[in-house]
Structures are given as structure tokens and as C-alpha cells.
């Protein structure tokens, strides 16, 4: 291909970084999913970790939404706390905003996020040490911004 020929633009899709094999989970691990990586053939996969973007370290204490889900956190009706009881709501909100900004800059209209996460869960999150129905903080914000958000376990 000559320098003047351009590659066709690929559609940007935000992806939980842990699903792409990056060690960004609370315990420093990942949960790589080949089915997500295969999407790279037709899309530009953009790894994001809302918790890291919000300023939390890796590894970090596990966190949960106290009651309700990410919508309740966005509306200040609930908080996100670690198991020892530290309030990390501000970091979760900051991370969600950072991911939304990345989506805006790239004009991304879709995200594939990790189920069960208090940031990324789409249909389920962890609450009181168990799976519970609901969405994470970042998912709630991206849905408000009009993105399609799909969850992968």
C-alpha cells in the first residue's frame, strides 16, 4: 500500500481493559476473553479501566455499591465503598467521567464491559458479597450518553 492510500477507518469500541488481558482488576489479575479480542478485526478496541482512570491503584481493595446500582451512585443516593469501609465514590465517578470523555473524543458509540464490576457491570454487580442485578457506575453514565453497552462475564 502506498503512503497515499489510507486504511479504512475502524469503528472505535471501548472495552474493559481486563477483558483484553491487561492486569487491571482489583487483585491485579485480568479476565482475558478471546471472543472480545476477535472483534479487533473489524473494530478499533480501546481498553479502558474506569477505576484506574479514577485514580485507584492496582491492586486495590474490592469495592461494592452499597445499595441500588450505578444509577443511584450518579444520583448521589448511594455510595461505593471498599470492604474495609473506605468511600471510593469520588474515584468511581471520576473514572466514569474519564471513560465518557474518551468515548466522546473518539466518537465511540459502543462499549463492551466486564459483568459483575461496580464500575463496568451491565446487568449484574456485586453487592453484600453476592451477585445482584444492576449496572455499574460507568455503565450507567455511558447509557445516559447514548452508548450501546454490552456485558461480558
Q: What are the DSSP calls for 29-83, one per residue?
A: -----HHHHGGGGTEEEEEE-HHHHTT--SS---EEESSS-HHHHHTTS--EEET
Predicted local distance difference test score (pLDDT) of residue 6: 62
Lowest average pLDDT, out of 12-21, 32-41, 46-55, 115-124, goes to: 32-41
Q: Is the pLDDT of residue 130 over 90?
A: no
Greatest extent of the chain over all pairs of C-alpha atoms, in Å: 58
> Nearest to residue 32, comparing CAs of 51, 45, 50?
45
pLDDT-derived band at 36 (thresholds 50, 70, 90) equals very high
pLDDT-based confidence at 9, cuts 50/70/90? Answer: confident
Any idea which of 26-30, 113-117, 120-124, 129-133 has the lowest mean pLDDT?
A: 129-133
Q: What is the pLDDT of residue 4?
A: 62
Percent of the chain whose pLDDT exceeds 90: 85
Report the pLDDT value the prediction gives residue 5, as an integer from 0 to 100: 62
pLDDT at 51 (0 to 100): 98
Q: What are phi and psi of 2, to 5 degrees?
A: -75, 160
Q: Quick one: average pLDDT of 60-65? A: 97
The neighbour count for residue 42, using CB atoms within 10 Å, is 10
User: Cβ distance 37 to 67 under 8 Å?
Assistant: no
Taking residues 39-65, report their average pLDDT.
96
pLDDT band at 39; cut points 50, 70, 90: confident
Selection from 117, 128, 105 nearest residue 151 by Cα: 117
Amino acid at each position: 500500500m502506498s503512503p497515499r492510500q489510507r486504511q479504512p477507518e475502524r469503528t472505535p469500541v471501548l472495552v474493559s481493559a481486563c477483558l483484553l488481558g491487561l492486569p487491571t482488576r482489583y487483585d491485579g489479575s485480568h479476565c482475558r476473553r478471546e471472543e472480545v479480542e476477535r472483534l479487533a478485526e473489524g473494530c478499533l478496541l480501546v481498553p479502558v479501566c474506569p477505576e484506574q482512570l479514577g485514580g485507584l491503584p492496582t491492586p486495590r481493595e474490592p469495592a461494592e455499591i452499597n445499595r441500588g446500582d450505578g444509577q443511584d451512585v450518579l444520583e448521589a443516593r448511594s455510595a461505593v465503598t471498599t470492604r474495609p469501609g473506605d468511600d471510593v465514590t469520588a474515584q468511581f465517578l471520576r473514572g466514569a467521567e474519564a471513560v465518557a470523555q474518551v468515548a466522546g473524543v473518539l466518537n465511540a458509540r459502543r462499549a463492551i464491559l466486564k459483568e459483575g464490576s461496580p464500575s463496568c457491570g451491565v446487568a449484574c454487580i456485586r453487592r453484600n458479597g453476592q451477585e445482584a442485578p444492576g449496572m455499574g457506575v460507568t455503565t450507567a453514565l455511558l447509557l445516559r450518553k447514548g452508548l450501546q453497552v454490552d456485558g461480558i462475564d
